[in-house]
Structure 1
Amino acid sequence: MTVITIQSANAKTNFDAIRKVYWQTWMTTYRGLVPSAVLNQLTPAVWHPEKRWRNTQLALNETGEIIGVCSYGPARLPLFADWGELYSIYILLAYQHQGVGQRLMAQALSTLRQKYQHLYLEVLVTNIDAQHFYTRLGFYRTTMTHSSHVSGGKLKTIIFASN
């Protein structure tokens, strides 16, 4: 059995390793869920996890490799002022469906709930597996959607909320 450790990021975290997790996860998990043009223009350099290191939880395997990342903080959408937001959760494909995401989320949600009464997140309309995951963790689907124009296409998300 693989031993996974959950810990907070710090200023000395290997942010290149986090960028790699983000990129690899997008290449595997989101293929078929977002336009190919979006995926084709991505490189690890598009992400800047060092900007959120104070609000990031990491999952490390037994050799200390970063295999999962969860980031969170204050709401970015004006409609949700005074709410906390789960920004992202990415788990390398080889470690998905093993409870790593639940452990990362538990730590992130515990931290968020210390400061915010209400939480929300955005999930791709096409990512049904993630929608089920968030529902199992107590989030509920709202009727609100959000569209983002990104290089290579448009991404449409559904807002999930939690009290």
Structure 2
Amino acid sequence: MVSIRIVKATPKTDFAAVSQVYYDTWQSAYRHLIPADFLKQLTPSSWHPEERWQNTFLAITGSEEIVGVCSFGRARMADYAGWGELYSLYVLPQFQRQQVGSQLMDQALKRLSQTYENNYVRVLNNNLAAQKFYLKFGFMKTNTVLEDVTRFGTIRELMMIREG
């Protein structure tokens, strides 16, 4: 297992490398979960992690490679005003199942709990592995499924909540 440290993003973070983590992870993790044409139209510049640097943790190797990212903050959905939201948690495929995601999650939940009693995350409805991961951290499945109708097909996300 490789040595990883979790650090807070700063304005000087290499956000192109962070965007690449998003891109590479989406291409791998969602390959069979969302429409292929949706994935094909993405590029690393589809993401703008620099906009959330204040609420982002990075997983960094000893050689300073960014291999994971987790961002979080105030709920973006009006129905969850006053809640915290886990926006994203991505780990490069070759670093998965090595506790990197768990380390990122621990830090994000610690920070979220300083401000919010309740938190939620939106997870692809068919991403059972991610749902299982979030269950380990106290999130519970709800009956709420959000639908995003794109020109490539409908993407469905399950709401998972973690209360006080």
Q: Does structure 1 residue 137 correspond to structure 2 residue 137?
A: yes
Stretches of structure 2 that go unaligned for 5 or more consecutive residues are none
Q: Name the aligned partner's letter for residue 16 of structure 1.
A: A
Paired residue for 1:4? Answer: 4
Paired residue for 1:22? Answer: 22
Counterparts of residues 32-111 of structure 1 (less than 5 Å): 32-111=32-111
Q: Name the aligned partner's letter for residue 19 of structure 1.
A: S
Counterparts of 1:149 and 1:110, CA distance in 2: 34
Structure 1 SS opposite 2:147: strand
1:130-156 residue CA offsets vs partner (Å, 9 max, x unmatched): 000000111000111111234533211
1:95-115 residue CA offsets vs partner (Å, 9 max, x unmatched): 001100000000000000000
Paired residue for 2:120? Answer: 120
Percent of pairs with identical residues: 45
Structure 2 SS opposite 1:6: strand
Counterparts of 1:28 and 1:10, CA distance in 2: 27
- Distance change in 2, residues 1:97/1:151 (3 Å): farther
TM-score, length of structure 1 as denominator length = 0.97
TM-score, length of structure 2 as denominator length = 0.97
Counterparts of 1:26 and 1:36, CA distance in 2: 11
Q: Name the aligned partner's letter for residue 34 of structure 1.
A: I
Q: Name the aligned partner's letter for residue 14 of structure 1.
A: D
Query: Segments of 4+ in structure 1 off by > 3 A?
Result: none
When the two structures are aligned, how many residues end up with a matched partner? 163
Counterparts of 1:25 and 1:136, CA distance in 2: 21
1:51-100 residue CA offsets vs partner (Å, 9 max, x unmatched): 00000000011101000000000001110000000000000000001100
Stretches of structure 1 that go unaligned for 5 or more consecutive residues are none
Aligned partners of 1:41 and 1:151 also within 8 Å: no
Larger deviation, residues 8-17 vs 142-151: 142-151
